[in-house]
Chain A
Amino acid sequence: MEMEILSERELEKIAYNCKKATMLIEKQQIERISAMEKFELELHLKGCLACIIYMKQSILINEMVRNFFRRHHPDIKLDEGFKKLLKIRIEEHLRQS
C-alpha cells in the first residue's frame, strides 16, 4: 500500500540514504519506530549490504560496550586514606544523631 504512495524518485532516495537508514537502525534498538519508518528501513536494507553489516555490528557494539563497563568498573578504586576519612565522618554523624 505504502509502495503506491511513494514515487519512484522517493523510493530511490530511500535506497540511497544510508544516513537515514543507520539512524533508524539506532532508533529501532531503543524504541518502536513507526510503520512508515519500518517500511523505509526494510526497503533500504533489501538493497544495501553495507547497512545490513552496520546493523549487525551496531547491535554487537552495544553488547561489547555493556560488557566492557561491567567488567572494568571494579578496577577503579578509591584511595584508602580518603575512605578512612569518609568512615570517620559517617561515624561522627551517626554518634550525633
Chain B
Amino acid sequence: MHGSDRRFDIEEKKKLDPSNWVEKYADYLYSYAAVKLYDDELARDLVQETFLAALEAQKGFNGLSSEKTWLTAILKYKIADVYRSRSSGLRNNAQRAAPEQEEDFFDHDNGHWNSGHDPADFFCEQPDILQDNEFQAILQACMKKLPALWLSVFTMKHVDEEPSESICKAMGLSSSNFWVIIHRAKVNLRSCLQKNWI
C-alpha cells in the first residue's frame, strides 16, 4: 500500500479497527440516534448503515479525528437525511401547534407575560437540583412533551453544540424559523418545569 518510509507517519495517526467497532461503539451510536429520532428500529438500521458505509469509506479516514468522532459524523449525515425527508411534515406540525401555545404565554398585542405565565423564582436558588432524581424525571417528561422537531433543534444546538447553519440545513429551516423554535422550545420547557416542580 504505502512505501515503508510512510510507516512511522501512519503509526502516529489514529487507526481504524473495524473488528472492534460493534463492542466499542454500537451502543453509543444507537443511543445517539434513538434519542434524536424517537424511533428505536430506525436507529438500529442507521447504526448498521453507518458501519457498512464506514467500511466502504475506510480509505477516506485521515486519522486526524478519533474513530468514534468519525463514525459519529457518518451517523449524523444519516440522521440528517432522515430529518430532511421528514422535515416538511414536521414543519407543518410545528406551525400548527404554534399559535395557541404562543398566545398562552405572551400578550398578543404588547408581548408582555400573560398573568399566570410569568416566571417565578422556583429553582434558581437550588444548585443541587441537578442531582435531584425527581426533578430529572420531570425534566424528562417535559422534554417529551415538546414537538419532536423542537426538541431535535434544541438538543442539536445546546447538547451537541452544532453550528446553527448546519442545523438549519439538516432540518430544512430558515434562520427565522430556527430562532422561533429555539425560543418556543425554551419557553415551553421552562413553563412545564415550573408547573410541575412547585
Contact = CB atoms under 8 A, between A and B. Distances in A.
Interface of A: 13, 16-20, 22-23, 26-27, 30-31, 50-51, 53-54, 56-58, 60-70, 72-78, 82-83, 86-87, 89-91, 93-94, 97
Contacts of B22: 83, 86-87, 90
B77 interface: no
A68 B14 CA distance: 30
Interface string B153-182: 011011100001000000000000001001
A16 B107 CA distance: 10
Interface stretch (B31-39, B79-87, B88-96): B31-39
A76 B130 contact: no
Contact of B139 (A53, A64, A73, A77): A64
Contacts of A69: 35, 155, 159
Given A13-B110, A18-B113, A68-B140, A58 B19 contact: no
Interface in B24-81: 26-28, 30-32, 34-35, 40, 44, 47-48, 51-52, 55
B44 to A, nearest CB: 6
A19 B111 contact: yes
Determine the main DSSP class of B at the interface with A: helix
A32 to B, nearest CB: 12
A42 B128 CA distance: 29
Contact of B121 (A53, A73, A91): A53
Contacts of A17: 110-112
A74 B25 CA distance: 11
Nearest to A78: B30
A58 to B, nearest CB: 6
B111 A18 contact: yes
A26 B18 contact: no
A85 B114 CA distance: 56
Determine the main DSSP class of A at the interface with B: helix
20 contacts: A13-B110, A18-B106, A19-B105, A23-B183, A30-B164, A53-B119, A54-B190, A61-B186, A61-B189, A68-B139, A68-B143, A72-B35, A73-B35, A78-B30, A78-B44, A89-B52, A90-B22, A90-B55, A93-B52, A94-B18
A53 B111 contact: no
Nearest to B58: A97
Given A86-B47, A86-B51, A90-B21, 12 more contacts: A13-B110, A16-B112, A22-B186, A53-B121, A64-B130, A69-B35, A69-B159, A74-B27, A76-B31, A83-B26, A87-B19, A93-B55
